[in-house]
Amino acid sequence: MQIPASLERLVEEFSRFPGIGRKTAQRLAFRVLSYSPDEARNFAEAIVRVKEQIRPCSSCFVFTDNDPCNICSSNSRERTQLCVVEQANNILPIEKSGIFHGLYHVLNGSISPLDGIGPEQLTVAQLKQRIQNEQIEELILATNPTVQGEATALFLQHEFENQVTRITRLARGLPAGGDLDYVDDVTLSEAFSGRQPF
Amino acid sequence: MVIQSLDLRHFRNYTHLQTEFSPETNWIFGKNGQGKTNLVEAIYYICNLESFRTRKNHHLLQSGHPQALIQAELKRSDVLHQIRIQITSRGRQVRLDHSAYNKVSDYILSFLALTFTPEEVVLFRGSPQERRRFFNRMQAILEPSYFRILQDYAKALSQKNAVLKQQQREKLPLWNQMLARHASIMSEKRRSFIESLNLHLAELFQAISGRTECLQLEFQPSISIPEETEEGIFQVLESAAEKEMRAGHSLMGPHRDDFRLMLDHRPDREFFSQGEFRITNLALKMALNQLLFQSFKIYPVLIFDDLFSELDPSMKSHIMDFFSQLKNQVFITSTVPPEYVKPGNTLQISQGTTV
């Protein structure tokens, strides 16, 4: 059976999502087809609304619907600690854990000359301004533990070591609650070289 | 690890071969071009899931046939395993004890084979790139985390090369520091690997050759400084910055390291005879054999393709004496029947079949 053009268009749209293949896209599209007109309108509106209302925070570049974002404008956050991450979604697990009460800064990527991405393409200039204007004492580098993430952390260290009291980097090693049997060699060797007095 | 029996179908020049092997030495002989190397290639494939001669599957198929089949019975720590490998030009399927097997790295560690082939004899005369590839591979087998170290270094290097290509001098120090960080880890790993090989090399060379010189493997790092620390390597890289900017690519670092063999104070390329290249390479393989046993308690299958050409009779008998003390299963190919000792099993090959 030939899929009608308007349905085919929806299938195509769904299959552009990461991790969604043609089969799944069809299932999703048929689900939408079974919606009531109100449901469908709601769904479409949610998509439009998110683009209209969500902006990167002008201070920390986290996605937000009011600017500055809830974190930047909060009175209860520790304003001397600034945690630097590569992508906005990196803050979700940190916020969920409730472990960190300071402020964030999203770089929007990591340094990669191969892809033509240097500090100028990231939000480093804005970070510099924040460090000059705000009362930041500790910079916590939470870029990914990859070669590019490490290079980015190294760059930020050089750039800001004389402007804040302390620069720290997230530790690498064993996952909590994990079984040693299931830890890969690299993580294990990092855990060994990063071991601490007990 | 012992291969007890083998069944080949449409593999290279074998239409159908069914044979059994001795757990000790297997002597495979026949005239040139009859299929001796093809047979040990199949044995190597069973152990390492790749050929030592080709990366292209279709080379392994008998001409005119869409698929080759290798079946074997292997014994490891007294447990018998069945292996079935189906090869087509598009891929291969491995079944271990009747179930599909996909984890190649685990598999190779369980059933490893070491080879000694005429191509490998020239390892220390060939390009440094081939030596690095050989030692990287061996080190990654012995120390699985080394593979990730290699990958990370390669990533840092390609980023640095991009900076050099784009002529961004102000961005070079960052990547020199990243390179230095990974280079210092690699140098340390390479040094300790070479040290562990050297613990065995001298003794093995003397046992195999009956000679008295001291054989050692020497590390020739691209960046030669007394202490290969991150900071020290960084300084060297920075002092070469202008030169590298002019070249437009990286000129130094572990990707330019080299290795050489020394017999007493004689370096290989300038002083080794044809026979010495052969016998020292054999000693190196035997040192790896010992490291593999120390680390994993396995005795890899040893394959010696055309080992005895260019060696004089006294050397041959020394080698056979040495082999008789090994606990490994050994396969030797030769153009002549066994001369010096009685091997566990003798196979004569003629036109893709046993005689």
Ranges of each domain in chain A? 1-36, 74-169
Clarify whether residues B138 and B265 are in a common domain.
Answer: yes
The reply to whether residue B163 touches residue A113, judged by beta carbons under 8 angstroms, is yes
Clarify whether residues B137 and B243 are in a common domain.
Answer: yes
Contact A194, A172 (CB under 8 A): yes
**What's the ipTM?**
0.79
Clarify whether residues B161 and B237 are in a common domain.
Answer: yes
B37 Cβ contact list (under 8 Å, min separation 6): B53, B117, B305, B306, B333
The reply to whether residue A189 touches residue B145, judged by beta carbons under 8 angstroms, is yes
Q: Flag whether residue B304 sits within 8 Å of chain A, measured between CB atoms.
A: no
A186 → closest Cβ in B148, B156, B174: B148
Contact B240, B164 (CB under 8 A): no
pLDDT at B313: 86
The reply to whether residue B178 touches residue A147, judged by beta carbons under 8 angstroms, is yes
Q: Which fold has domain A1-36?
A: Helicase, Ruva Protein; domain 3 (1.10.8)
- Give the chain B residue whose CA is nearest to the CA of A189: B145
Clarify whether residues B91 and B139 are in a common domain.
Answer: no
Out of B6-10, B53-57, B186-190, pick the least confident. Answer: B53-57
**Which residue from B222, B217, B223 is spatially nearest to B257, judged by alpha carbons?**
B222
- d(Cα A44, Cα A38) in Å, to the nearest integer? 10
Q: Which residues on neighbouring strands pair with residue B74, listed in sequence order?
A: B3, B81
> Is residue B119 situated within a structural domain?
no
> Is residue B277 situated within a structural domain?
no
Q: Flag whether residue B174 sits within 8 Å of chain A, measured between CB atoms.
A: yes
- d(Cα B137, Cα B135) in Å, to the nearest integer? 5
Alpha-carbon gap: A82 to the closest alpha carbon of chain B (Å): 23
* Domain boundary pick from B269, B286, B306: B269
Clarify whether residues B143 and B239 are in a common domain.
Answer: yes
Which residue stretches of B2-127 are H helix? 36-48, 104-110, 118-121
- d(Cα A109, Cα A130) in Å, to the nearest integer? 18
Clarify whether residues B203 and B321 are in a common domain.
Answer: no
Out of B49-53, B189-193, B214-218, pick the least confident. Answer: B49-53
Clarify whether residues B106 and B134 are in a common domain.
Answer: no
Q: Flag whether residue B144 sits within 8 Å of chain A, measured between CB atoms.
A: yes
Number of residues written out for chain B: 355
> Is residue B265 situated within a structural domain?
yes
Under the banding of pLDDT at 50, 70 and 90, the label for residue B98 is confident
Higher-pLDDT residue of B307, A129:
A129
pLDDT at B309: 80
Alpha-carbon gap: B177 to the closest alpha carbon of chain A (Å): 9
The reply to whether residue A113 touches residue B178, judged by beta carbons under 8 angstroms, is no
> Is residue B167 situated within a structural domain?
yes
pLDDT at B354: 87
The values of phi and psi at residue A74, to 5°, are -70, 145
- CATH no. for A74-169: 3.40.1360.10
Under the banding of pLDDT at 50, 70 and 90, the label for residue B197 is very high
The reply to whether residue A113 touches residue B148, judged by beta carbons under 8 angstroms, is no
> Is residue B188 situated within a structural domain?
yes
- And the tokens for A87? 């992508």
Q: Flag whether residue B154 sits within 8 Å of chain A, measured between CB atoms.
A: no
Under the banding of pLDDT at 50, 70 and 90, the label for residue B339 is confident
Alpha-carbon gap: B190 to the closest alpha carbon of chain A (Å): 16
Contact B152, A145 (CB under 8 A): no
- And the tokens for A178? 């994990």
Q: Flag whether residue B294 sits within 8 Å of chain A, measured between CB atoms.
A: no
Clarify whether residues B258 and B318 are in a common domain.
Answer: no
Q: Flag whether residue A14 sits within 8 Å of chain B, measured between CB atoms.
A: no
Does the pLDDT value for residue B152 go beyond 90?
yes
- Mutation pick from A111, A114, A146 vs chain B, by most beta carbons of B within 10 Å, is A114
Q: Which chain A residues contact residue B168 at CB under 8 A?
A: 113, 118
Q: Which chain A residues contact residue B141 at CB under 8 A?
A: none
> Is residue B282 situated within a structural domain?
no
- How many other CB atoms sit within 10 Å of the CB of residue B128? 15
The reply to whether residue A111 touches residue B174, judged by beta carbons under 8 angstroms, is yes
Tally of domains in chain B: 2
- Give the chain B residue whose CA is nearest to the CA of A190: B145
Q: Which chain A residues contact residue B160 at CB under 8 A?
A: 113
- Give the tens place of pLDDT for each residue, A97-124: 999 999 999 999 999 999 999 999 999 9
B159 → closest Cβ in A114, A185, A186: A114
- And the tokens for A10? 């929806």
Q: Which chain B residues contact residue A150 at CB under 8 A?
A: 178, 181
Radius of gyration of chain B (CA): 22
Q: What is the CATH number of the domain that holds B327?
A: 3.40.50.300
Q: Flag whether residue B86 sits within 8 Å of chain A, measured between CB atoms.
A: no
- Mutation pick from A143, A146, A147 vs chain B, by most beta carbons of B within 10 Å, is A147
Q: How are beta strands B91-96 and B79-88 bridged, if at all?
A: antiparallel
Domain extent for B141:
128-269
Does the pLDDT value for residue B310 go beyond 80?
no
> Is residue B284 situated within a structural domain?
no
The reply to whether residue A113 touches residue B145, judged by beta carbons under 8 angstroms, is no
> Is residue B288 situated within a structural domain?
no
Clarify whether residues B309 and B234 are in a common domain.
Answer: no
- Give the tens place of pLDDT for each residue, B119-145: 888 899 999 999 999 999 999 989 888
Clarify whether residues B17 and B58 are in a common domain.
Answer: yes
Contact B14, B35 (CB under 8 A): yes
pLDDT at A1: 67
| pLDDT values of chain A reduced to their tens digit, one per residue, 198 residues | 678 999 999 999 999 999 999 999 999 999 999 999 999 999 999 999 999 999 999 999 999 988 899 999 999 999 999 999 999 999 999 999 999 999 999 999 999 999 999 999 999 999 999 999 999 999 999 999 999 999 999 999 999 999 999 999 998 888 888 788 888 877 888 888 888 898
Q: Which residues on neighbouring strands pair with residue B116, listed in sequence order?
A: B304
Under the banding of pLDDT at 50, 70 and 90, the label for residue B219 is very high
Alpha-carbon gap: B141 to the closest alpha carbon of chain A (Å): 13
The reply to whether residue A186 touches residue B177, judged by beta carbons under 8 angstroms, is no
Specify the pTM. 0.85
The reply to whether residue B155 touches residue A147, judged by beta carbons under 8 angstroms, is yes
A&B contacts, CB < 8 Å: 43
pLDDT at B156: 97
Contact A83, A142 (CB under 8 A): yes
Amino acid present at A65: D
Clarify whether residues B318 and B211 are in a common domain.
Answer: no
Element containing residue B131 per DSSP (H, E)? helix B128-142
- Give the tens place of pLDDT for each residue, B232-256: 999 999 999 999 999 999 999 999 9
B144 → closest Cβ in A111, A151, A185: A185
Residues of chain B with pLDDT > 70: what percent?
A: 99
- Mutation pick from B103, B143, B159 vs chain A, by most beta carbons of A within 10 Å, is B159
The C-alpha angle A115, A116, A121, rounded to 5 degrees, equals 115
